[in-house]
Structure 1
Amino acid sequence: MVILIAILISLIYPSSFNWVLDEFMGVNLINILLGLIIFAMGTTLKLDNFLNVFKSPKEILIGVSIQYFIMPLISFALATLFSLDLGLTVGLILVGTVPGGTASDLITFLAKGDLALSVSLTAVSTLISPILTPIITLLLIGSTISFSPVDMFISIFQIVIIPIAMGLFLNYRFPKFCEKLNDFLPALSSIVIATIVAGVIGANKEAIISSSLIIIVVIILQYSLGTLLGFVLAYLSGVNTKQMITIAIEIAFQNSGLSTSLAKTHFPDLTLATVPGALYSVWQNFAGSILAYIFTRYFNNDV
């Protein structure tokens, strides 16, 4: 609801969120806002969430492999199939190559999936994103447009790893404080994401309207195919029903805020590159409740 209100305001008054795309002391404000969300995520994590890779190596390996193999390929295939503009192509690829988003944990809980696995998958995929996201992005679009994967690595490290480490440390030293803080973090994260989305949509209002049908169809397909293939491949891997549901949700829910931030930082001349991440954020939050209902209603989650 917060995101929809912010989008409505940005469409009526496009300049109201322009400040989101500005810089503060030489740093993109989007990066600062996203770092705040990642920090909030870090305060909800414990070291066990990362060590779970040794306790459930099969499920973690399956989830992370699908995350960084299937989603990028889906993105590339859709961009090619629909002959997207270069900016939209770059943005769509980035949506596919970033790690899973924290919203997947809430949807997994609502869908009665394996919440512990979901949290660990998000944590692990985020931890390795500074390496895999630049490499996979380079492989997919490196021949089309020039960018520095090393600079992208540094950006992700600054935006993701440092805030997570700070959040983990705070949770380790002051667990009771973080437990109280967590009551407010979902609302804070929603407001920050809504602000980022509104800023991107407001700045690109005319371009989005002119190409809205195509990019919206592509975003819906990207999300749907990610969910479907995640579930099917998890099923073929022999995991149980709860874990299949969890992996499917984890694959579909991307850290779209990070993709928008990377697009703004590393492809500043391609203004439309920020659009797919913003639209994906809107869609995945809207479709998440539907997905949770489908899994709860039509699948046996007691396995």
Structure 2
Amino acid sequence: MEIATKIAPLGLALIMLGLGLSLTIQDFIRVVKIPKDFLVGFISQLVLLPIVALSIALLLNLSAELAVGLMLIACAPGGVTSNVITKFADGDVALSISLTAVVSLISIISVPFIMFTSMDFFEIGIIKEISMTGIALKMFFVVTVPVLIGMIIKHFARNFVDNQAAIIQKISIILFILVFAAIYIEEWDNIITYFTQAGLPVLLLNMSMMLLGFYIAKIFASGVAQQRCISIECGLQNGTLALFVGTQMFGESIATFIIPTAAYALIMMMTSIIFVFILRKNT
């Protein structure tokens, strides 16, 4: 996966820059003003998602490598794609953006913690000499810094950025597709094997979280738009970030651990499109 591992850091930084260009201080203030909906989505994504992934790994008796790979995609925050899909689903886009922004910023702590804990649990030694702090610092520079730069640019050139919002979203999605297209092209001969190994667990994880998010939000969130948003946020993860973390932790052995992420990236797009189609048909 040499090509993919080289473009992942750049692709992730540009995607996070695009996220920053879509954010304002109001997106963070909204979290404080309307905390209930945010907390439902936040807990579902940051706490419930890894627990469900761990349960699936144990239930299916996955190999240690696949189990850790499943935890890798499960601890990744929602991606920019979730904001676009939420818009198509007539969900609460403002809530989606707030969840993506806050969980992405917190991910520099949560992702290393969950990954190192998962590796201890499944008894996998750290392949590269890197600490939890080292991973967090690298994530800070490719996640937090680009987001802050994007917000600063928007503050000083708001009209220009707002006028180009649609193009910025499209570029972010294209970058996401390019990163995973590189994986599929480079590993084409192994694709069937990968999906045979990881297809069922990632499908179960994706479907379980979209359904759990949907019905948990139905009980605790304030409305239908928020329910749709939280369901999508629980089902769509930032695969590019997961790929970046994987390259930093596993180096040349990443292929084994990144199988669930590659499979999840394709499956989540298919299920989200079906989900939007069903929602729009029933409204």
- Is 1:275–2:262 an aligned residue pair? no
2:80 and 2:173 in contact (8 A); partners too: no
- Is 1:91–2:69 an aligned residue pair? yes
**1:40-89, CA deviations, whole angstroms, 9 ceiling, x for partnerless residues?**
11111111111111111111111111101111112212222233333322
C-alpha distance in 2, partners of 1:146/1:152?
A: 15
C-alpha distance in 1, partners of 2:140/2:268?
A: 25
Matches within 5 A, 1:51-66: 51-66=29-44
- Is 1:199–2:178 an aligned residue pair? no
C-alpha distance in 2, partners of 1:202/1:18?
A: 11
- Is 1:260–2:243 an aligned residue pair? yes
**1:144-169, CA deviations, whole angstroms, 9 ceiling, x for partnerless residues?**
22443222211221111001000000
What is residue 124 of structure 2 aligned with on the other side?
145
What 5-or-longer segments of structure 1 have no aligned partner? 1-16, 23-28
CA gap of 1:247–1:254, structure 2 versus 1, over 3 A, is same
2:194 and 2:259 in contact (8 A); partners too: no
CA gap of 1:54–1:95, structure 2 versus 1, over 3 A, is same
1:21 and 1:199 in contact (8 A); partners too: no
**1:233-281, CA deviations, whole angstroms, 9 ceiling, x for partnerless residues?**
2223253222111111111111111111111111122422222222222
The alignment-based identity, stated in percent, is 27
* Bigger helix fraction: 2
Number of paired residues? 277
- Is 1:250–2:233 an aligned residue pair? yes
- Give the SS at the match of 1:239: coil
- Give the SS at the match of 2:22: coil
1:87 and 1:270 in contact (8 A); partners too: no
- Give the SS at the match of 1:112: coil
Deviates more, 1:135-144 or 1:107-116: 135-144
C-alpha distance in 1, partners of 2:162/2:220?
A: 36
Q: CA RMSD in A?
A: 1.9
Specify the code of the residue in structure 2 equivalent to 1:145.
Answer: I
Runs of at least 4 residues of structure 1 off by over 6 A?
none
- Is 1:297–2:281 an aligned residue pair? yes
What is residue 195 of structure 2 aligned with on the other side?
212
Deviation of 1:18 (Å): 4.9
- Give the SS at the match of 2:166: coil
Deviation of 1:177 (Å): 2.0
2:217 and 2:231 in contact (8 A); partners too: yes
- The counterpart of 1:75, out of the listed 53, 69, 73, is 53
1:200 and 1:275 in contact (8 A); partners too: no
